[in-house]
Amino acid sequence: MEYKEKHRRHRRTIFKKWFLNNRLSIILLNILLFFLVIWVFNKISFILNPAWLFFSAILPPLMLAIIQFYIMNPVVDWLERKFKVPRVITIIALFLIVVVALVWIINTLFPIVQGQIDSLVKNWPHIWNDAVNATQNALRDPHLHGVKNNINNMIDHAQKTLFKSGRTAVSATLGNISSAISIITMIFMTLLTAPFILFFMLKDGHNLRPYITRFAPQRWQKSFSQLLYDINDALASYIRGQITVAFWVGIMFAIGYTIIGQPYGIALAILSGVLNLIPYFGTFISIIPAVVIAIIVSFPMLIKVLIVFVIEQTIESRLISPLVMGNKMEMHPVTTILLLIGASAVWGLWGVIFGIPIYAILKIIISRVYNYYRRVSKVFDDEEVAPSDTENVKQGEKIEKNK
């Protein structure tokens, strides 16, 4: 009888040790549950598809409003806190400033940019051919004979890729008139509805976190409120930082290209600012057309463009990015690069744009859930692993006394 009881206790101890309180078993079980949830959602996709269509319809104006909210909200909060200015008055004033700025851009800057873009698009095939010919002429130097074949292959591959992409885009545009109409309709509805969403977000956005927190259980409300605050702070830092850095990158390239007399300088500067929203790769992609155009102009112009690029990168990396962005995202550059590569491969351009903020949100949520699980679970108890620091100190004191 005692043997059976002892054997039963031993079995219960093994089960508790290797299954209930084993980290590997818990991790594997959580992975299994995660994929089980995905499988269930896949089986009920006929229910989720209408919800996804609804969400995709409201996403563009909502995203535009959120971006503008993170830019304008600090001004609204500061004026309300510092000078007791009502939020509605500040919001209306900001809207008027934006309207005036848009009118000025449309009347003054837009014609210049439009003319340069139209001329660049029209002349780009000739510019590319001239750049290829100039490169091939330079490669006739006997000292460059070893790399001539490799560069020629790269040029041929680039030409074929560009021609294939352009032909695919043209055929897709001509063959999908309904899609073009739907895209135009979406853009019109986004521009029409985003200001209304933005107005109410600026007016009542500070009440959103307390309102959402009320739906959490009482004992979790404080932690849930802090979670929402961390997510909001991460998104605000990323959006404000990226837009601010992109703006100054465009300004620096515009000044630099104007000083050196680079053709299509304003259009290329705007392209650099927009592509700078893609971390690490955007600016290097935008410099390609500038380099191609500089090759056509002259070799000294190519040197000037490269000097402008080096100066811009130095100012951005040493001054603007640390001052604006800091290290609030707490992401290693290797993590960022791998994330951009993976997200672009899975979701294309949308993955490049939204990959980092989504990663930041998931990182905050997962880290908080993990820390909570460590506090309440016995899986991470280290009582059997090693003596505590207090015991080590006591043992050290005993040794000293014996000496």
pLDDT at 38: 84
- Is 72 inside any structural domain? yes
pLDDT for position 103: 92
pLDDT-derived band at 315 (thresholds 50, 70, 90) equals very high
The residues near 249 (Cβ < 8 Å, ≥ 6 apart) are 272, 273, 276, 283, 312, 316, 320
- What per-residue confidence (pLDDT) applies to 385? 41
Q: Is the pLDDT of residue 6 over 60?
A: no
Q: Are residues 7 and 91 in the same domain?
A: no
Does residue 12 lie in a domain region? yes
* Residue 1 belongs to some domain of the structure: yes
* 13 three-state secondary structure: helix
With respect to residue 366, please indicate whether it lies within any of the assigned structural domains: no
Range of lowest pLDDT (132-141, 159-168, 258-267): 159-168
* Same domain? 204 vs 92: yes
Percent of the chain predicted with pLDDT > 90: 32
Give the pLDDT mean for 91-101: 95
Cβ–Cβ < 8 Å for 210, 229: no
CA–CA distances in Å: residue 290 to residues 6, 44, 294:
80, 50, 6
Whether 12 shows a pLDDT value over 60: the answer reads: no
pLDDT tens-place string over residues 213-224:
998 888 889 989
- pLDDT of amino acid 179: 59
Using alpha carbons, select from 222, 169, 204 the residue that is nearest to residue 88: 204
Structure tokens at 356: 């980092």
Exposure string of 101-126, with b = 16+ CB inside 10 Å and e = fewer, is eeeeeeeeeeeeeeebbeebeeeeee
**pTM to 2 decimals?**
0.76
Whether residues 92 and 210 share a domain: the answer is yes
The residue segments making up the domain with residue 31 are: 1-43
Query: Is 284 contained in some domain?
Result: no
Total count of residues recorded for the chain: 403
Model confidence at 338: pLDDT above 90: no
pLDDT category at 401 given cuts 50, 70, 90 is very low
Tell which phi-psi region holds residue 322, choosing left (phi > 0), alpha (psi between -120 and 50) or beta. alpha
Alpha carbon 372 to its chain centroid, in Å, reads 27
Check whether residue 30 and residue 66 sit in a common domain.
Answer: no
Regarding whether 19 and 117 lie in a shared domain, the answer is no
Residue 400 binned pLDDT confidence (cut-offs 50, 70, 90) = very low
Structure confidence by residue, pLDDT tens digits, 141-200 = 665 555 556 666 666 666 565 555 555 544 544 445 555 677 778 888 888 999 999 999
H helices of 84-220, in order, are 87-104, 110-138, 145-175, 177-204, 208-213
Q: Are residues 129 and 12 in the same domain?
A: no
